[in-house]
Amino acid sequence: MFDTKICEIFNIEYPIFQGGMAWIADHNLASAVSEAGGLGIIAAGNAPTEWVREQILKTKEKTNKPFGVNIMLLSPYAEEIAHLVCELGVKVVTTGAGNPGKYMEMWKEEGIKVVPVVASVALAKRMERAGADAIVAEGCEAGGHIGELTTMSLIPQVVDAVNIPVIAAGGIGDGRGLAAAMMLGAEGIQVGTRFLVADECSVCDAYKEKVINAKDIDTVATGRFTGHPVRVLKNKLSRQMMLLEKQGVTIEEFEEAGRGALRKAVVEGDIAMGSVMAGQIAGLIKKTQSCKEIIEEIFDEASKVVEGIR
C-alpha cells in the first residue's frame, strides 16, 4: 500500500526519510534507519567538513543500504560539503535552510539524487526546474529552522505545483500522520522528532527526556524577525531569546545570543541554556524505541487507519 515512487527512486523498503537534524543525526542514527528500511540521513548542520567525512565513512562501514547527507545551506562549510558528497560517492543529498540551485548541476552530473527541503511552492517549482528528483515540503510544525506554512496547507499546494514526488515533513510522528500525508498527495514522509528519541540516536538522555516529557504546547518559534525562525522546546534560553526579541535587539545581537546553543544542548546536555530543537509532535512521543520498531509501528498503524476508512 505504501510502496510508492519514493521507494523505487531511492531503493528503500519504506517511503520514510529520517530528518537531517543538525548535531543529532550522525552515523549511528543514519545507519540504523537505513538498516531498518528507511532512508537514514547524516546532518552536516554547522559541523566542519572533516566531521561530516568521518560520519559518511562510518555509515558506509555499518550499512550497505542507501543513505543520504543533509546540507544546511547557512553553514560556513556548505560549499566544501557540497563537493565532499561528490568525492565520497554519496547517493542522496537533501538540503535545508536555503536554495541549493548553484550546486544542482554538479550533483546531477555525479548522479546524485537531490531532494531539497522547501517551505514554499515557489522554491519547490524552482527546484523541480533545476532537476530535483523529489521535494521534501516541510510545514512549520517541524523542529529547528522553519518556514511560515503548516503541513496541512503546504503539502497539497506543493503537490499541485510540481510533477516530482513530494515527501511531507513537519508534525508527522505516527501512522495517522503518514496516512494523512498520503491523503494530501504526498508519496512519503520525513520524520525528525520521533527518531530523535530512538535508541540508536546519540543525543544525550536529558534531551530525549525533555522531548518525552513535552506537552502539546511546549514548543515555541523564536527569531521570526531575523528571517530564520527556529522551533525549540521552551526553556530558560528560549525565554531569554523571547525577551530579547521583545526588547528590539538587532538581528546580530539576537543571533550572537543563540550561537552554539544547539551544540550546547545536544553534546553538552545543557537543556536549560541550550537550544532544544523539536517539533510540535513532541507531545505525542512517549517512549524510546529502536528505529526498526518506530518504522514498523508507523507503517502498521497507517495500514490499519487506511483499512478502517475503506
Positions that interact with ligand TUI (CB under 6 A):
22, 45, 72, 74, 96-99, 117-119, 123, 138, 144-147, 228, 230, 262, 277
Q: What is the DSSP string of 220-281?
A: EEE-GGGT--EEEE-SHHHHHHHHHHHHT--HHHHHHHHTTHHHHHHTS--TTTS--B--GG
In angstroms, rounded to a whole number, what is the distance separating the alpha carbons of residues 169 and 179?
13
Measured from the CB atom, is 89 or 131 closer to ligand TUI? Answer: 131
Looking at the Cβ atoms of 79 and 297, the one nearer to ligand TUI is 79
Would you state the cell numbers that stand for residue 105, as one nine-digit string?
A: 548541476
Q: How far is the CB of 76 from ligand TUI (least distance, A)?
A: 12
The DSSP output letter for 19 is P
Least separation in angstroms between residue 71's CB and ligand TUI is 10
C-alpha grid cell for residue 303? Answer: 495500514
> Which of 160, 180, 161 has the alpha carbon at shortest distance from 170?
180
- CA–CA separation, 181 vs 274, rounded Å? 32
- Cβ distance to ligand TUI smaller for residue 38 or 144: 144
The residue (of 72 and 302) whose beta carbon lies closer to ligand TUI is 72
Compare residues 145 and 264 and give the one whose CB is closer to ligand TUI. 145
111: left (phi over 0), alpha (psi -120 to 50) or beta: left
Q: How far is the CB of 251 from ligand TUI (least distance, A)?
A: 12
Q: C-beta of 233: minimal distance to ligand TUI in Å?
A: 13
Residue 70 CB, shortest distance to ligand TUI, in Å, is: 8
In this chain, which residue has its C-beta nearest to ligand TUI? 144
